[in-house]
Structure 1
Amino acid sequence: MHPRPSPIAASLYTLRDMDVDVIIMHGPHGCCFRTGRLLESDGVRVLTTSMAENDFILGAGEKLENTLIKAYDMFNPKLMGVVGTCASMIIGEDLKEAISNADLDCTVIPVESHGGFGEGDNTEGAIMVLDSAVECGVIPSDEAERQIKMLKKATEIEKTRGMAQGEYIKPNFGDNKEEVAKKLVSAIKEGKKVAFVLNAKKETSYLFADIVNFDYADVNGDNEPIVVANLDENIGLTRIRNHAKNIKNQLESTNVNVDCITGGLDEYPETGKIAAEYLKDKDLDMIVVFGVPHAFPVEDFDAETIAITDGPRLVEPLRKLGYDNVVAELDAHSKTLGTNEIVYSDFGSMIRSVIDWNK
């Protein structure tokens, strides 16, 4: 009932992950405006055909052809994407025909997405990109199949444990960050067994990794927490692998050791369960899960639990799953686009502040 991410936005992000140079949105200039603007920070040029009322009646194939040619002349791209919108897809615009007529000396991936495609799940837009990228020879079919499997599992998790359960969920900004940080720092200081679980999605990992990015010796050098993370640098597209590699290197440079790698940054629907399997016999007093905490089976553990999410509408579902405390980080996507370094998170900063106060 409440607004959810659009398949169109998912198409845009997935094309970004394939390192396209330019994306053309075939629709009105305001469609997915915020997503398009954000992706500019990641080095992708996002253009629109600016369809208007007459185009909804008469069609805008020529407009798309002209925009394709102009984009090629402006940016000389090697790889482009054309993304449909509700307006262009409802009237049956033929993206492939326009691409063929433009006859550009580069690869162009057509994505016939719109806001109501299939069940309206945002992951449908990403799946459409993957299927089209295989047809264009951009990625191998086995990689597409692996990612599609993950995307379908992500949808299942959102519908059963997240904010796509069909009911209205009021936004909630979670518990007081200072009080939760004090509880966490005290647990480490008192010698309790604490585990950190980074189960993050793609580039948002740059923000969530900041939560473990502190010197444990400043709290209790004899009680180093267990760190579990989905930072496998050998899984996924090149961009995603580089994110994992960057974060691992930066954590190691600050003497943060990752005890268990659960999988890749696009495997968050599965890596929560892998983390749980690794931790089940560790006799833990506290578990801190951040990124996509609803993919972690918190109900299987008899320990104090903290979840850190980037979705205000996920706070209540996480509490219902059994988390004792839930903290909300805001604007994770906008803070992490265009970066290759760990960025400060509100909760990570609060942890470090609490540590400084206790010195």
Structure 2
Amino acid sequence: MHPRPSPIAASLYTLRDLNADVIIMHGPHGCCFRTGRLLESDGVRVLTTAMAENDFIFGASEKLEETLRKADKMFNPKLVGIVGTCASMIIGEDLKEAVENVETDAIVLPVESHGGFGEGDNTEGAIAVLEVAVKHGVIPKEEADRQIKMLKLATKIEKTRGMAKGDYIKPNFGDNKEEVAKVLIQNIEEGKKVAFVLNAKKETSYLFADVLNVDFKNINKSNKPIFIANLDENIGLPRIRDHAKNIAKELRQNGISIDYTTGGLDEYPITPRKAEEILKEENFDLILVSGVPHALKIEELNPKTKTIAVTDGPRLVEPLRQLGYNYVVAELDAHSKTLGTSEIVDSDFGMMIRTVIDWNNDK
């Protein structure tokens, strides 16, 4: 019942991950306004055909053709995505015909998605892009099939363990970050076994990796936390692999080593399986999971282990508590903070951990 991400937005993000130079939204100028503006920070030029009332009746194929010509002239793109919206798809606009009528050297991907596309799940919009990308030779079918498998698993996780599991979930901003930071630091000080699990999604990993980037070495030099992360640099679309490379490199430069790599950033629905195996092998006193913590089956781990979830969704706080997490920390605006960056971004919780460490050192 509560609003959820749109297939249109998912189409836009997936075109971004394919390194599209320009995306044209065929619809009203206000459609997916915020997402389009955010993607500009990632170097993608996002345009609109600005359909109006008359266009809803008579069609706007000429507007689409003209916008594509202008985009070609202004930006000289190599890869262009045209994304349908509710307005253009409901009236049956033919995106492919418009593309055929415009001469351009660019590869143009017409994506017929809209707000209620398929079952209405946001992942449907991403799948539509991948299927069109295969037809135009942008990615191999094997990679698209792998991506689609991950997207369907992600939808299943949201519907069974995440914010789509209930009719309505009231937003909740989680536990007090200072108190949770003190619990984490106290466990390290006392020599308890602590594990950090990064199970992050795409560019939001720049924010969620920040808790791994804290200098824990001087808290208890004989008690190094274990770091587990889905930072495989050889898996995923080009932009996603770059994110993993950037984060892993920055961590290494700061003297932080990943003890176990569970997979790629777009494999967050399945990477928890390997993390769970590692966590079950050793008797940890505290486990912190950041990014997409509801994908990890925390309920199957030692019930005596204290657990912390770090998420970006106020509507995920209550489901995470229901799964059994002892503490839940909510980070806000993960996408807007990480778009356009190639470096780890300070998170609210990471900064609070550093503050508490400084307080303890000053005593």
TM-score (norm 1): 0.99
SS at match of 2:13: helix
Q: Distance in 2 between matches of 1:75 and 1:291?
A: 35
CA-to-aligned-CA distance 1:21-47 (integer Å, 9 cap, x gap):
000000000000000000000000000
Contact 1:214 1:254 in 2 (8 A): no
CA-to-aligned-CA distance 1:239-293 (integer Å, 9 cap, x gap):
1111101101111111111010000000000011211111111100000000000
SS at match of 1:327: strand
1:316 paired to 2:344: no
What is the Cα deviation at residue 89 of structure 1?
Answer: 0.2
Q: Distance in 1 between matches of 2:324 and 2:85?
A: 39
Contact 2:42 2:340 in 1 (8 A): yes
Q: Distance in 1 between matches of 2:287 and 2:261?
A: 16
Q: Distance in 1 between matches of 2:333 and 2:218?
A: 29
SS at match of 2:309: strand
1:237 paired to 2:237: yes
Q: Distance in 1 between matches of 2:273 and 2:349?
A: 24
CA-to-aligned-CA distance 1:285-319 (integer Å, 9 cap, x gap):
00000000000010012210000000000000000
Partner of 1:252: 252
Query: Which one-letter code corresponds to 1:351 in the other structure?
Result: I
Partner of 1:135: 135
Q: Distance in 1 between matches of 2:111 and 2:348?
A: 36
Deviating 4+ runs (over 6 angstroms): none
Q: Which runs of 5+ in 1 are unaligned?
A: none
Partner of 2:87: 87
Q: How does 1:97-246 map to 2 (within 5 A)?
A: 97-246=97-246
Q: Distance in 1 between matches of 2:201 and 2:214?
A: 21
Q: Distance in 2 between matches of 1:173 and 1:217?
A: 30
Q: Distance in 2 between matches of 1:182 and 1:212?
A: 16
Partner of 1:279: 279
TM-score (norm 2): 0.98
CA-to-aligned-CA distance 1:65-120 (integer Å, 9 cap, x gap):
00000111111101100000000000000000000001211100110000001110
Partner of 1:306: 308
2:346 to 344, 348, 352: 344
Query: Which one-letter code corresponds to 2:45 in the other structure?
Result: R
SS at match of 1:24: strand
Q: Distance in 2 between matches of 1:233 and 1:260?
A: 13
Q: Distance in 2 between matches of 1:328 and 1:191?
A: 27
Q: Distance in 2 between matches of 1:202 and 1:246?
A: 12
Query: Which one-letter code corresponds to 2:143 in the other structure?
Result: E
Query: Which one-letter code corresponds to 1:150 in the other structure?
Result: M
Report how many aligned residue pairs link the two structures: 359
Query: Which one-letter code corresponds to 1:331 in the other structure?
Result: D
Query: Which one-letter code corresponds to 2:269 in the other structure?
Result: P
Partner of 1:262: 262
Q: Distance in 2 between matches of 1:307 and 1:214?
A: 17
Partner of 1:13: 13
Query: Which one-letter code corresponds to 2:149 in the other structure?
Result: K
Q: How does 1:48-67 map to 2 (within 5 A)?
A: 48-67=48-67
- The percentage of aligned residue pairs carrying the same residue is 74
Q: Distance in 1 between matches of 2:312 and 2:294?
A: 12
Q: Distance in 2 between matches of 1:261 and 1:289?
A: 14
Q: Which runs of 5+ in 2 are unaligned?
A: none
Contact 1:163 1:169 in 2 (8 A): yes
